[in-house]
A and B are shown apart, each in its own frame.
Chain A
Amino acid sequence: MLKLEGISFTYGEAPVLEEVDLRVDQGDTLSIQGVSGSGKTTLLKLVAGLEREHKGRVYLDDEEITTRVPEDRNVVYLSQEALLFPHLSVFENIAFGLTVRKVEKEKLQAQVQGLIRRLGLEGLSDRSPEQLSGGQKQRVAFGRALIVNPDLLLLDEPFASLDRSTREQMQQLFKEVVHEWGITSLFVTHNVKEAIMMGDHIALLKDGRLHQYESMQAFIDDPQSGVKEEKSFWESL
């Protein structure tokens, strides 16, 4: 369970986030829709602990983690770029989180192999990241995040740079796995359709202010979300 209370952040003089409150229940995915520059990435960085100079409090599973360094949060961040470690193989990339936790070799082997199978990356273990396609890279990044069994997964437009069919596959895979593992996640996107599709709940981030909707329908009905506009456009054709 993730809870944010009164989060405000300014960059220099400019306010980026203002009084953001938010709540995601255990195992749920909250989609946050917002245009670029609305403060989405900043919000995620702040939850991950990569940006700690902010007002307000962050709670994870009822524990306050506001001042905790990123490596002690068990909150993993996935972005549009896969950001695989170029000096490590696919296997080593996925295993990274376990390696730094000094997990025993056999246990590590078993876990990584299992995840490689689950993500359909068989046969690619020894490849280096540059030999992978965009979709494969994103799968490896996903595996690297999942292996540490994160308390919270942050997704910052992770599928934005993929082609359409790969994106649809990945969205499907993501939904399945997150559900399977019962992972709490924040999914940030500018794409209204993706936001509706990926989230159990939805919120709108606009000019640094966040509004969390009671239901999907409330979001769709809200003129601010722009869903109605788009709907009427397609109907007018």
Chain B
Amino acid sequence: MKTSDNRWSGKFRSYISPERLGAALWPVLTVVPLLAGIGYAVLYSLGGVGLLSEGWTLQHWREALTDLHLLKSFAYSIYVGILSIVTSISLALCGTLVFRSQVGRRWTGMLLYAPLAIPSVVTAFFVYEIFAQSGWLSRVLHQLGLLGSADQFPILIQDPWAIGIITAHVAMAAPFFLILFLNTYQNEQIDELRRVASTLGAGSLESDWKITIPVLFHRSYPTIVLYFIFAVGSYEIPLLLGASSPQMLAVNVVRNLQRFSLDTIPHAYILALLYVVVVIGILWALLRRKKLFYEA
């Protein structure tokens, strides 16, 4: 019994197999647009292309790398990223120690996952509503007689220390890390490990310090790094909750790209390129490890 009457059509069908189609799709939707985009940005920043191009020059780079505003924006984003992730992880670790005995109960599942349903736009909105000077917290303090008027409430939104942004980031990341840690806790059978440690004479606190935390970190390290990159490049949260100066990186790039005067475009691209370099560096360091990314 032959499979196909027409051998040629059989061969042809095998020739354009799904995975070959997928192979053709891959560059078109990943590396080509990305490299083309980055290439354009590089050329633009060197004055090679663009409406205002006056020929090749290093001037934009010289300007940008000495522009305090731009460098500050970069450093600010890293600061926000680090503080957001460190705070989230600390809270999640505390939560893990509290909730580890509750895992598996029915109500905990639904409860613990609930915050993950809330997207960043809504988180930003909510943080704004609660922490603004005339926000809900300020109202509560006022009702308690601790506050005379709204402007006595500290500025937590659009503030120079990015408290609002970091709060929103933490609201998104801490619940996520809590679940990640709790899952890891179970999968790695940390309770068993701790029991072994206690038979060897370790106290509860000591075994948490020497076993629970290192194991959790070891397993979730790639995810943590990934989230750091996301936090550094976040956009809609700082757009709503960030001060006008200094600005988070993504916000700064878009503003510079969309100014009416076109002469800030090279700066937008340079800032974006700096960000790309950092991301590549981090990705490279991660890829040298055996396991790839999150095993949530």
Name A's B-contacting residues (CB within 8 A).
Answer: 69, 71-72, 74, 101, 148-149
Contact B10–A69 (Cβ < 8 Å): yes
Contact B1–A71 (Cβ < 8 Å): no
Quick check: is B3 within 8 A (CB to CB) of the other chain?
Answer: yes
Quick check: is B290 within 8 A (CB to CB) of the other chain?
Answer: no
- Chain B, range 140-162, C-beta contacts under 8 Å to A: none
The residues of B that contact A74 with a CB separation of less than 8 Å are 1-3
The residues of B that contact A148 with a CB separation of less than 8 Å are 1
| Cα of A74 to Cα of B14 in the assembled complex, Å | 15
B165 CB to nearest A CB, Å: 47
| Cα of A36 to Cα of B213 in the assembled complex, Å | 45
Task: Given contacts A69-B11, A72-B4, list 17 more A-B pairs with CB under 8 A.
Answer: A69-B10, A69-B14, A71-B3, A71-B10, A71-B14, A72-B2, A72-B3, A72-B7, A72-B10, A72-B11, A74-B1, A74-B2, A74-B3, A101-B1, A101-B3, A148-B1, A149-B1
The residues of B that contact A101 with a CB separation of less than 8 Å are 1, 3
Interface centre among B3, B7, B14 (most CB of A within 10 A): B3
| Cα of A101 to Cα of B11 in the assembled complex, Å | 16
Pick 17 A–B contacts, CB within 8 A, sort by A.
A69-B10, A69-B11, A69-B14, A71-B3, A71-B10, A72-B2, A72-B3, A72-B4, A72-B7, A72-B11, A74-B1, A74-B2, A74-B3, A101-B1, A101-B3, A148-B1, A149-B1
Of all chain B residues, the one with the shortest Cβ separation from A149 is: B1
| Cα of A74 to Cα of B7 in the assembled complex, Å | 13
| Cα of A197 to Cα of B11 in the assembled complex, Å | 39
| Cα of A71 to Cα of B10 in the assembled complex, Å | 9
Of all chain B residues, the one with the shortest Cβ separation from A71 is: B3
The residues of A that contact B1 with a CB separation of less than 8 Å are 74, 101, 148-149
| Cα of A69 to Cα of B3 in the assembled complex, Å | 11
Our count of residue pairs bridging A and B at CB distance below 8 angstroms stands at 19
The residues of A that contact B14 with a CB separation of less than 8 Å are 69, 71
The residues of A that contact B7 with a CB separation of less than 8 Å are 72
The residues of A that contact B11 with a CB separation of less than 8 Å are 69, 72
The residues of A that contact B2 with a CB separation of less than 8 Å are 72, 74
A62 CB to nearest B CB, Å: 15
| Cα of A198 to Cα of B224 in the assembled complex, Å | 58
| Cα of A148 to Cα of B2 in the assembled complex, Å | 9
A77 CB to nearest B CB, Å: 15
The residues of A that contact B4 with a CB separation of less than 8 Å are 72
B1 CB to nearest A CB, Å: 5
| Cα of A149 to Cα of B2 in the assembled complex, Å | 10
Of all chain A residues, the one with the shortest Cβ separation from B11 is: A69
| Cα of A140 to Cα of B114 in the assembled complex, Å | 46
Of all chain A residues, the one with the shortest Cβ separation from B7 is: A72
| Cα of A71 to Cα of B4 in the assembled complex, Å | 9
> Residues 1-45 of chain B: 1 if any A CB is under 8 Å from the residue's CB, otherwise 0?
111100100110010000000000000000000000000000000
| Cα of A149 to Cα of B1 in the assembled complex, Å | 7
- Chain B, range 191-242, C-beta contacts under 8 Å to A: none
| Cα of A69 to Cα of B14 in the assembled complex, Å | 8
The residues of B that contact A149 with a CB separation of less than 8 Å are 1
| Cα of A72 to Cα of B8 in the assembled complex, Å | 11
A74 CB to nearest B CB, Å: 7
Of all chain A residues, the one with the shortest Cβ separation from B4 is: A72
| Cα of A210 to Cα of B165 in the assembled complex, Å | 71
A111 CB to nearest B CB, Å: 11
A9 CB to nearest B CB, Å: 21
A115 CB to nearest B CB, Å: 14
The residues of A that contact B3 with a CB separation of less than 8 Å are 71-72, 74, 101
The residues of A that contact B10 with a CB separation of less than 8 Å are 69, 71-72
Of all chain A residues, the one with the shortest Cβ separation from B14 is: A69
Interface centre among B1, B7, B10, B14 (most CB of A within 10 A): B1
| Cα of A73 to Cα of B8 in the assembled complex, Å | 14
B10 CB to nearest A CB, Å: 5
| Cα of A125 to Cα of B87 in the assembled complex, Å | 58
| Cα of A71 to Cα of B12 in the assembled complex, Å | 13
B273 CB to nearest A CB, Å: 40
| Cα of A72 to Cα of B7 in the assembled complex, Å | 8
| Cα of A148 to Cα of B3 in the assembled complex, Å | 10
Of all chain B residues, the one with the shortest Cβ separation from A148 is: B1
Of all chain A residues, the one with the shortest Cβ separation from B1 is: A149
Of all chain B residues, the one with the shortest Cβ separation from A69 is: B14
B275 CB to nearest A CB, Å: 40
| Cα of A214 to Cα of B246 in the assembled complex, Å | 87
B6 CB to nearest A CB, Å: 11
A169 CB to nearest B CB, Å: 28
| Cα of A148 to Cα of B11 in the assembled complex, Å | 20
B200 CB to nearest A CB, Å: 42
List of 9 A-B pairs having minimum Cβ-Cβ separation, nearest first: A69-B14, A71-B3, A72-B3, A149-B1, A72-B10, A148-B1, A74-B1, A101-B3, A72-B4
